[in-house]
Structure 1
Amino acid sequence: MAVPPSFDSDCPVHRFRCLVTGDQWLARPVLDPHGWDHDVGFDGINLETAAKIKENVVACVTGQMSKDKQDFSIQSESTAAFIDPRGSIYSVGLDVQSAGKELVCTIRSNTKLKNLKNNVTECGVSVTSFADKYYFGTKIEDSFSIGRRLVFAIDAGRMGGNGQVAYGGSVKTTLRGKDYPVRNEEVSLSMTFHSFNKETVLGGNLQSHFRLSRCTTMSLDANLNSRKMGQVSIKVNSSEHVQIGLVAVVSILRALLRKKPVDDLQSRKALER
């Protein structure tokens, strides 16, 4: 069963607020790192635009076209959203992308409601057309916060078509740091499930982001599922020159230690001669 693209209601609002400074088009070339030597290195173009249609209605359109020696591909997203001053967002969109010689078209609609001060509910539907077959998807999400630091979120979704159905969902708990939002420190624990063709996969994920010192941050990401597959990722970022200098010193020492046995061996051979 083909998996259609996901639908997200947040993109039109964020793109509108970050991109538009008036009605304009933003164009960027698409770089092809595997082009031929005589090529200029670009094989497509990316276009973006956002506009304020009415007082609370915005629209966002993005598209990318690519052409190589044999194939031509296109990918575009179009979204219109109504932003209620009370906090709710209603949006509709159309996505089109190439899949071989076929086109995948998705019509989506999303509603984001702010029922209470600390509660946000979101639901959406989509219809995807691919190779003369149709796939219908639904999703629902709900998140609520307790105080300023603790956030709970739960979501569930269904995608079906062509006699096949897939289900998925997750439960997530996030604990923010004492100084949030001044310092973006948080720890989150989530449980997920996916079901397809009578096979269910359960998974767990742990994410943590905290600051070790004034200029050093550390991120930890670990996940494991019921198939006994998982990964652990640790990332450290630093803007201090001392850490950068220590990395350089360690690299130089390792290079010298590797070079020393080779120099000793060459000296012995010279003495034997």
Structure 2
Amino acid sequence: MDQGSNRKILAAVKKYTKKCPPDIVLYVDRLDSLSRDLNDLPLLKTITAVLGSSIWFNAIVALTHAGSAPPEGLNGAPMTYEVLMAQRSHIIQQSIRQAAGDMRLMNPVALVENHPSCRRNREGQKVLPNGQSWRHQMLLLCYSSKILSEANSLLKLQDPNPGKLFGFRFRSPPLPFLLSSLLQSRGHPKLSPDQGGNEGDSDIDLDDYSDVEQDDDEEEYDQLPPFKPLTKAQLARLTKEQKNAYFDEYDYRVKLLQKKQWKDELSRLKEMKKRGKTDLDDYGYANIAGENDQDPPPENVSVPLPDMVLPPSFDCDNPTYRYRFLEPTSTVLARPVLDAHGWDHDCGYDGVSVEETLAILNRFPANVAVQVTKDKKEFSIHLDSSVSAKHGENASSLAGFDIQTVGRQLAYILRGETKIKNIKKNKTTGGFSVTFLGDIVATGLKVEDQLSLGKRLALVASTGAMRAQGDTAYGANLEARLKDKDYPIGQSLSTLGLSLMKWHRDLALGANLQSQFSIGRGSKMAVRLGLNNKLSGQITVRTSTSEQVQIALLGLVPVAASIYRSFQPSEPSFAY
């Protein structure tokens, strides 16, 4: 390829385009060219260097020889016409994006066929193998591009740049997404006991369980008579009523034992909290200098981490066995990321996840988690880091830095918040965030309040706003959680959530209800309902059981309904 001759020709073209700028630029190539590499990329870069990257903003890709028969695919079968057009269009569009330096550029594609033996329709127009008249489509693309260009000049919009097409920005900042991320409740990192933290300072609010030990209605586990578990052979000789009575007694004793262990753990945490208050530093953390310095910490022993979950199929090529590794003795934990729905059948691990928990200056606990995913086409990174500092017993502050992939851009988020415990059952949080998304800067504020009503009911309300480029989104969330009477021994939990979002004069309302509870001894059920202001939503029911295995036959009901609808003749529709 003679680049010198090409530059001379392009320089001559540039002289005419300065005097008479073209309305539409046609980039012509062949549809039946089976080259999958980027051989045309040097030529496209030369065009961009001489004529400028703006030459591609009004360009239409015209593929000639569109009436050619599709070639054979990799499996030996003839390739469909739609697949051939999609593959060829993708290769050319990708080359243009790389040459223009804008990976978001998407040029329209038109098909052309001028062969004399091209098939014609009743009107005498040349049609493609897919039945379309290529001349009408070509003219439609040219006229629409011309109209957008004239609208740009009449409205006096800014000049096109790599982030815009015809002067219009590809997308507005996703303020609702950023606001939803800001309104999420976040836990503050805490020091572990070997880092100088106090075990009593955990996410468990000990005040909510202050009256556990005063529960006189429950029979103490130690006062129960001895109980001897039966073997399988002995259980087989029991009647159905005797088995039910045996399992009821067994479950009752297990529940009392768990309650006893829970009470002992609460007593230990309360005792450590009382002792910790007498030996705290200026930051509110336990001062471990003293007797703990005399005893060396126990040595960490490497243990095997849980293996990756096998897919629900009989696949002998699954590479899970290749990634057996030990838990490191350090605080850094690195693991591969499995893409269960990826294109790679043999090695589906296309990323790595790294997590670390550390104490900065032995005073400020911090958590860092990063996940990097890379395949042949896309690259994504997700970073979540935060550090906290205590202010006495009733207040703490958190600062964080996050990196998220939003579309094809990276969003850098700086956030901070302060949580204050006003009264025994109430916590108030105020926070902010600053998001950098390309050339967009979005700022947000939020206020959150948590109220505990006894041991079972908790209310969480939050509201906030996010602003960028003169546009503002407002949102509010309300959540009510009802725990089991014997929580955390009983795992029943019900959650009712309400959300409100206002953006661009549009009001979005949403409600969801989640509930999980036990059905009998060996069965559990989880129900989730969601509904929005457009009267659309979903209902999800999930049941797991170790006794009634025949319940799995219910999964055949939607399959049978789908088969029935496929054979059901559809009613004719009339257009007026």
Task: Give me the TM-score of the superposition, normalised by structure 1.
Answer: 0.77
Corresponding residue of 2:170: none
Number of aligned residues: 245
Question: Which moved further from structure 2: 101-110 or 201-210?
Answer: 201-210
Say which of 195, 201, 204 aligns to 2:508: 201
Corresponding residue of 1:269: none
Identity of aligned residues (%): 32
Partner Cα separation in structure 2 for residue 247 and residue 103 of structure 1: 46
Tell whether 2:317 aligns with 1:10. no
Q: Which has the higher strand share?
A: 1
Partner Cα separation in structure 2 for residue 54 and residue 10 of structure 1: 23
Tell whether 2:403 aligns with 1:96. yes
Corresponding residue of 1:259: none
Tell whether 2:458 aligns with 1:151. yes
| Residue identity opposite 1:227 in structure 2 | K
Equivalent residue of 1:10, what SS?
coil
Partner Cα separation in structure 1 for residue 358 and residue 534 of structure 2: 46
Say which of 98, 111, 114 aligns to 2:421: 114
Confirm or deny: 8 A CA contact 2:189 2:386 kept in the other structure.
no
Q: Which has the higher helix share?
A: 2
| Residue identity opposite 1:6 in structure 2 | S
Task: After TM superposition, give the deviation of residue 47 of structure 1 in Å.
Answer: 1.1
Query: Once the two structures are superposed, what CA deviation does each residue of 1:45-91 show, in whole Å capped at 9, x if it has no partner?
Result: 21111112245411111112232224433221221112456253311
Say which of 545, 548, 572 aligns to 1:243: 548
Question: Which moved further from structure 2: 203-212 or 136-145?
Answer: 203-212
Say which of 157, 181, 191 aligns to 2:498: 191
Say which of 384, 387, 394 aligns to 1:77: 384
| Residue identity opposite 2:501 in structure 1 | H
Query: 1:42–1:186: structure 2 CA closer, same or farther, 3 Å change rule?
Result: closer
Confirm or deny: 8 A CA contact 2:189 2:387 kept in the other structure.
no
Partner Cα separation in structure 1 for residue 448 and residue 517 of structure 2: 27
Equivalent residue of 1:179, what SS?
coil
| Residue identity opposite 2:462 in structure 1 | D
Tell whether 2:512 aligns with 1:217. no
Corresponding residue of 1:50: 357
| Residue identity opposite 1:185 in structure 2 | S
Equivalent residue of 1:184, what SS?
coil
Unaligned runs of at least 5 residues, structure 2: 1-172, 196-299, 301-328, 558-576
Task: After TM superposition, give the deviation of residue 149 of structure 1 in Å.
Answer: 1.9
Query: Once the two structures are superposed, what CA deviation does each residue of 1:138-190 show, in whole Å capped at 9, x if it has no partner?
Result: 11111212222222221111111012211111223333332223212233333
Aligned structure 1 segments of 4 or more residues deviating by more than 6 angstroms: none
Tell whether 2:391 aligns with 1:63. no
Partner Cα separation in structure 2 for residue 53 and residue 35 of structure 1: 41
Tell whether 2:350 aligns with 1:174. no
Task: After TM superposition, give the deviation of residue 207 of structure 1 in Å.
Answer: 2.4
Equivalent residue of 1:6, what SS?
helix
Equivalent residue of 2:189, what SS?
helix
Query: Once the two structures are superposed, what CA deviation does each residue of 1:94-128 show, in whole Å capped at 9, x if it has no partner?
Result: 11234465321110002222221111111210000
Partner Cα separation in structure 2 for residue 65 and residue 204 of structure 1: 33
Partner Cα separation in structure 1 for residue 524 and residue 380 of structure 2: 40
Corresponding residue of 1:138: 445
Corresponding residue of 1:124: 431
Query: 1:99–1:150: structure 2 CA closer, same or farther, 3 Å change rule?
Result: closer
Question: Which moved further from structure 2: 20-29 or 66-75?
Answer: 20-29
Confirm or deny: 8 A CA contact 1:9 1:110 kept in the other structure.
no
Confirm or deny: 8 A CA contact 1:66 1:72 kept in the other structure.
yes
Query: 1:163–1:49: structure 2 CA closer, same or farther, 3 Å change rule?
Result: same
Equivalent residue of 2:370, what SS?
strand
| Residue identity opposite 2:478 in structure 1 | V
Query: 1:160–1:180: structure 2 CA closer, same or farther, 3 Å change rule?
Result: same
Decide which structure has the larger Cα Rg and report it: 2
Unaligned runs of at least 5 residues, structure 1: 255-273
Partner Cα separation in structure 1 for residue 494 and residue 185 of structure 2: 25
Confirm or deny: 8 A CA contact 2:366 2:388 kept in the other structure.
yes
Task: After TM superposition, give the deviation of residue 29 of structure 1 in Å.
Answer: 1.5
Task: Give me the TM-score of the superposition, normalised by structure 2.
Answer: 0.39
